A and B are shown apart, each in its own frame.
Chain A
């Protein structure tokens, strides 16, 4: 973790909402704006913060189709390099959004995104399944996203509190 003061709280604030103004972040952190800016810069330099992005419900963006799949990969670890060499080969593909080495009955969990089911099928058969060291794949297509990145994708968050004298 970074050496900056109260780094966890700062990371929590940014993780929850990175669109807050620097002034507001500084107020929450009991820092000056300059201190808050410097602390965030430091978190970026230290590799604690790698980027900033929105959590998007792609179903509501008609111009873009996004299909995603979770793929279980069984592989043969390589001498001296274990799983790392293979992982490097897999995560270089832009279609791979998330790659984890897993405990349990398979080795890698790969989240892949494409514009259609056939896009992903092609990627799995042509690229992943045929990769040296890969023993088998099991592809699970995402049918509906209920929650992602801590955000619920279904229903609404309307304020339903009623009038009461308190």
Chain B
């Protein structure tokens, strides 16, 4: 009998479509001289003093597991950081957990709180993981469509219209990948107003919180009545250019964190030890590094946004993260066709907005976590492409 692996696969996994991001990279990988604005991670290398602490921890022989929740010293630093940055008080011992990237924190949170059929409200366009993890956890993903005319912010009306008795969680993915949108304090107040009389938890994904331009990030957990119902997820990847170290964390109510720890301890055991030692150094002495990288992203942000607007692709001003999300509607092409043609004709790899939800149609995501030379070259090629289309 021939072995048929398809027979053994879980439908909840096979039903998940492949990532729309990967597809373009796979094509690009086969081509030469491709300029990519596709990668969603910092181009900076982790600052040396942070890397050095990781190396030093290895030299000292810190090669064992840590406690399930993470090194106490790291959790204390996380607690101090949350207090100095957001005036949020989290007890290091009971209200914090160190995870394998912010992604694991999202995963274990949703697995911890969802019962079959629970609905999770997910603003779109947004990072690609919320929907599949919700589905794998037995929940139902409900997209909340955000619009360019609202600067891709979540509005209270859209939220209200989506709430049902089954709504369990609202995901707040701001600053946003892929749009670069942020939610100001007054934007969040309007959301909090809707949530106060409900039993809805908030998963606030604040992984890009250090990368905002012109104003500081505000966490919804800072607002009245929001602290207890919010689990804040963040990490070291974006702020400190530590993507490969795979380290994130979650802060929230002790009862929720305790149950999340159960999922974490059986699936993961503990987050990487070397990374945890490096992260202590990042939180203690890394504020200046964040500023240097943020300033550099800001310079590139201004160049790329002006570049798109000058060539006739309307680009809303992103105020966070490191992505521009210009509209390509004026070309008459779909996002997917635009990206495919651009890749084949001009060898520029960008990501179609639809990879982040259907309402991303008519947009493309361009990361500016690239050198200015790469950004300039990509802008030149895209401009040539647009002119040829006319």
Contacts and interface: CB of A to CB of B under 8 A. Distances in A.
Interface of A: 9, 12-13, 17, 20, 24, 27-28, 30, 159, 161, 163-166
A163 B177 contact: no
B302 A161 contact: no
B239 to A, nearest CB: 15
8 contacts: A27-B302, A27-B306, A28-B299, A159-B370, A163-B22, A164-B39, A165-B19, A166-B21
B40 A166 contact: yes
Given A24-B376, A165-B19, 9 more contacts: A20-B372, A27-B306, A28-B298, A159-B43, A163-B29, A164-B40, A165-B21, A165-B128, A166-B41
A156 to B, nearest CB: 13
Main DSSP-derived SS at the B contact region: helix
Interface in B102-135: 127-128
B303 A161 contact: no
A12 B25 CA distance: 35
Interface in B32-52: 39-41, 43
Contacts of B59: none
A24 B177 contact: no
Contacts of A30: 302
B306 A161 contact: no
Contacts, number: 39
B21 A161 contact: no
B258 to A, nearest CB: 29
B128 A166 contact: yes
B25 to A, nearest CB: 4
Nearest to A25: B299
Nearest to B305: A27
6 A-B pairs with least C-beta separation: A166-B40, A165-B19, A163-B25, A28-B299, A165-B21, A27-B302
A140 to B, nearest CB: 25
Nearest to A9: B295
B197 interface: no
Contacts of B22: 163, 165
B150 interface: no
Main DSSP-derived SS at the A contact region: loop
Interface string B284-309: 00000000000100110011001000
A166 B205 CA distance: 14
Residue with the greatest number of chain A CB neighbours at <10 A, chosen from B19, B177, B303: B303
Contacts of B298: 28
Contacts of B295: 9, 12
A161 B299 contact: no
B6 interface: no
Contacts of A164: 21, 39-41
B149 interface: no
Residue with the greatest number of chain B CB neighbours at <10 A, chosen from A9, A159, A163: A163
A64 B299 CA distance: 36
A58 B299 CA distance: 30
Contacts of A17: 372
B26 interface: yes
A161 B41 contact: yes
Interface in B3-40: 19, 21-22, 25-26, 29, 39-40
Nearest to A17: B372
A27 B19 contact: no
A161 B372 CA distance: 17
Given A164-B39, A166-B128, A24 B21 contact: no
Contacts of B299: 13, 28
A28 B303 contact: yes
Contacts of B302: 27-28, 30
B292 to A, nearest CB: 10
Given A161-B43, A163-B22, A164-B41, A27 B29 contact: no
Contacts of A9: 295
Nearest to A20: B372
B124 to A, nearest CB: 16
Residue with the greatest number of chain B CB neighbours at <10 A, chosen from A20, A161, A166: A166
Nearest to A23: B306
Interface in B175-200: 177
A166 B372 contact: no
A163 B306 contact: no
B306 A166 contact: no
Residue with the greatest number of chain B CB neighbours at <10 A, chosen from A13, A30, A159, A161: A161
B39 A161 contact: yes
Interface string B368-390: 00101000100000000000000
A16 B349 CA distance: 27
